A = this chain, B = another copy of it.
Amino acid sequence: MKANTFGNIFTITTFGESHGVAMGVVIDGCPAGVAFDQELLLEDLRRRRPGLHGKEDAIVSGRNEEDLPEVLSGVFEGKTIGTPIAIIVRNKDQRSEDYDKIKKNPRIGHADDVWIEKYGHVDYRGGGRSSGRETIARVMGGAVAKMVLKELAPDLIVKGFATQIGPIKLGQDEINCESEGWVPNEEKRKEIEELLISAKKEGESYGGIVEICVGNAPKSLGQPVFHKLKADLAHAIMGIGACISFELGDGMGSATAEGTQFHNTLRADQYGGIRGGISTGEKIVMRASFKPTATVMHEAKKGRHDPCIIPRAIPVIESMIYMVLLDHIMMAKNDRVDK
């Protein structure tokens, strides 16, 4: 069953195994006439790379991926032409010999065993298509969505922040759309980076929480009843590798609230900027948690594991959100006959 296409009007179809020839995306439904910003694309790929957004190689996976994108179609003389935009990134530095023993020993905590059970015949090298490397295609799709949104919703801001990594947490009021840095608290950022450097050495790993702030989102996005904005955002984010929870606004915390208080204040924080499944025009606030990465001693010894997925997950989450928002802007064009 086809399952590698995401979106309704603006869509991506992705492909590629970690140790195959290339990862890639076909973006279909992109309007013609959009300026293609190669720099933006490269920058987004760079943020997804190992090493804390490309800056600090001490942390995260030691795999050296250049991730140079090649645009195969859909762009002409610097602008989109309304046809599918295919972009690929070749896989280098594959060292697949590292993975040969996986064939007979599926790695604990990874998806190796469930894929073998499901498909019978799989590419076991480096997780194949279940590898985090699959997200390159999402980031490329998100980059193109961002290019379109620069024209359709120029003030839109989508920003993800780590608010917890293992035992280290930020306070609830430390984050807003103006915050900067992947951990928007200098002191805690340092603590976290130290924690991760030491985890990398010791073969330990941590999960964490990402909080996402969407500012200046257009109102009236969301299509009842099965494409509510909150449902499509949850689907997009829960579909990312290690993600195992999603909260809008107060999320789990709303369970304890009393209705008279909750609704009278009407803070967008509580609702998360979405009511009736439709964006209100207020700030959209979401949180997602990620499992600790599956630590494999074999990899850890070679210094090639990610002690925490969060730094690399942030640009992926942002990409998914850009795509959902653009798709909904395009869907909303047919909401009313008089517009």
A residues in contact (CB < 8 Å) with B: 1-11, 13-17, 20-24, 26, 28-29, 31-34, 70-74, 76-77, 79-86, 88, 108-111, 113-115, 117-123, 128-130, 134, 148, 151-152, 164-167, 203-209, 219-220, 222-228, 230-236, 238-239, 243-260, 262-264, 266, 270-272, 275-280, 287, 289-295, 307, 330-338
Total identical chains = 4
Asked if A278 contacts B115 (CB within 8 A), the reply is yes
Query: Which B residues are CB-close (under 8 A) to A225?
Result: 3-4, 14, 129, 134, 239
User: Residue on B with the closest CB to A228?
Assistant: B239
Q: A5-B226, A9-B1, A244-B248 are in contact. Are A83 and B255 (CB under 8 A)?
A: no
Shortest distance between the CB of A140 and any CB in chain B (Å): 13
A240 nearest in chain B by CB position? B231
Known contacts A245-B246, A254-B289, A119 near B81 by CB under 8 Å: yes
Contacting residue for A16 out of B33, B86, B290, B293, CB 8 A: B86
Name the one of B10, B85, B244, B250 contacting A244, with C-beta atoms under 8 angstroms: B250
Smallest Cβ-Cβ distance to A29: which chain B residue:
B2
Q: Which of B10, B250, B263, B307 contacts A295 (CB 8 A)?
A: B263
Which residues on B sit within 8 Å (CB–CB) of A249? 244
Task: List 20 contacting pairs A-B, 8 Å CB cutoff, sorted by A.
Answer: A3-B223, A3-B226, A4-B26, A4-B84, A10-B334, A15-B26, A15-B73, A24-B73, A72-B88, A83-B128, A204-B258, A204-B260, A207-B256, A207-B262, A230-B238, A231-B235, A234-B235, A234-B246, A238-B246, A244-B251
Given contacts A32-B335, A235-B232, A252-B289, contact A260 B295 (CB under 8 A): yes
| Shortest Cβ distance from A293 into B: residue | B259
Question: Chain B residues with Cβ under 8 A from A209's Cβ?
Answer: 252, 255
- Given A1-B9, A6-B226, A130-B276, A333–B334 Cβ distance below 8 Å? yes
Indicate if the CB atoms of A74 and B164 lie closer than 8 Å: no
- CA A291 to CA B271, docked complex, whole Å: 8
Q: How far is the CA of A270 from the CA of B291 in the complex (A)?
A: 9
Q: A72-B20, A81-B121 are in contact. Are A28 and B8 (CB under 8 A)?
A: no
B84 touches A15 (CB 8 A): yes
Please report the C-alpha to C-alpha distance between residue A11 and residue B292 in the assembled complex, in whole angstroms.
Answer: 35
Cβ A278 vs Cβ B114 within 8 A = yes
Closest 4 CB pairs of A and B: A111-B276, A205-B259, A259-B292, A3-B223
A249-B244, A278-B111 known; A119 vs B32 contact (CB < 8 Å): yes
Q: Are B8 and A5 in contact (CB under 8 A)?
A: no
Nearest chain B CB to A195's CB is how many angstroms away?
11
A70 to B88, CA, bound (A): 13
Q: Tell whether, in the assembled complex, residue B254 and residue A86 are in contact, meaning their CB atoms are under 8 Å apart.
A: no
CB within 8 Å for A111 and B335 given contacts A205-B260, A292-B262: no
